Amino acid sequence: MRFDMVITGGGVVGIALALSLERCGFNTALIEKSSLSVGQPVSDRKQVFMLNLASLEFLEKIGSMDQFPRESVQNVFEIMVRGDKRGELLFDSVRSGLPRLGVTIQKEDLVRVLRNLLPQSQVTIFDEDSVDQVKWSRSHVDIKLSKGSIISSDLLVAADGVSSKIRKLANIGVKLHDFHQVAVVSRLIGRSVNGVAYQWFQKAGGVLALLPIGTSEFGVVWSMSEELGVEIIDADPNMFEQKLKNLVGDDLGNLRLSGPICYFPLTSVAPLSVVGDRLALVGDAGGTVHPMAGQGLNLGLGDASILTDVLTENPNLGLSSKLRKYQRRRSEKVAIIRHVTHGLHKLFSSNASVLTFARNLGMSIFDRSALLKRAAISIASR
């Protein structure tokens, strides 16, 4: 079987890209190692994402936004950021001239809607299957699947996550940065103020994010030291609940845990290249960032959007120059997010009192500068 595009990895980024390319007329195949049936459970289903305006635009283009039940998409109008002393920073949509800053959405709903769209499309699915071997030649790529099929394609796209097998088969090395932190993820019942998300930067590099879901629930993502993470996972959930209450205070009502506690080790992976001969890496396969800025999936959907544009915009371009264009366009954005998150992590990891003072003062100064805030929002939302 011959395709224009073969995508490996049917996570959010892989499915969204497959739908986007298929809508542009490319004969597209999608390979996913687990089942893509709509009824299949989704891993990390309780995870909550904050999606920016560019991701929403892209999801709109592939026809998914009107498929979400109204209650599963929560507009975010304000993000309140607090430092470890008295630093405070408020991003708000009205003063930024935007209808909203983004939305929160549950992973479970996002995956279900995208999987639902697949059978209505012309995308050829190879699920519960994976890539065994890849042979790159000048004119095409041959792909041998575990269940025995052999398919070929003009371009292979790796959307197979942070440990991408395709990236390894293509011998693309990575730079690893270990934050020596874990992200503890759960759900919390409390009193949420309409469309406000919260972030607390703590000393020793901890960052707590509370993402509103409906009127009384939050998705919790708390990045913390490995030692504290292990202590929390091993302890009674009440201890985690108490630690959350100690940090947040009473502003959001009587907080109660409402979901299981999961944790993810935090490293950032930066491939030395995101393109190769007839190969492009997208989503986490193309690199990961610290989740403090809630940008990982946004960058992945950005990759899918840029790759679609580049592949469709100029049919006369040779394939390798198209891929170099993709690499150039997406690296600037990724580099900015990577530098900002690494920088903030370093700044808040220090206990030196002069830095504690400076970072909280810096936040308050930033808060008074409409220009700086607009610039930050424009980077995070595009």
Ligand X SMILES: Cc1cc2nc3c(=O)[nH]c(=O)nc-3n(C[C@H](O)[C@H](O)[C@H](O)COP(=O)(O)OP(=O)(O)OC[C@H]3O[C@@H](n4cnc5c(N)ncnc54)[C@H](O)[C@@H]3O)c2cc1C
* Interacting residues with ligand X (CB under 6 A): 8-14, 31-34, 49-50, 130-131, 159-161, 165, 183, 185, 221, 264, 283-284, 291, 294-298, 300
Alpha-carbon distance of 382 to 379, in angstroms, equals: 6
Query: Please, which residue, 200 or 356, has the CB nearer to ligand X?
Result: 200
Minimum CB separation from ligand X for residue 357, in Å?
30
Query: Please, which residue, 280 or 360, has the CB nearer to ligand X?
Result: 280
Query: Please, which residue, 220 or 363, has the CB nearer to ligand X?
Result: 220
Query: Please, which residue, 296 or 356, has the CB nearer to ligand X?
Result: 296
Minimum CB separation from ligand X for residue 142, in Å?
16
41's CB contacts (< 8 A; 6+ apart) are: none
Query: Please, which residue, 56 or 297, has the CB nearer to ligand X?
Result: 297
Minimum CB separation from ligand X for residue 301, in Å?
8
Q: How many CA atoms lie within 13 A of 233 on its CB side?
A: 16
Minimum CB separation from ligand X for residue 323, in Å?
18
Minimum CB separation from ligand X for residue 187, in Å?
13
Minimum CB separation from ligand X for residue 268, in Å?
11
Query: Please, which residue, 279 or 356, has the CB nearer to ligand X?
Result: 279
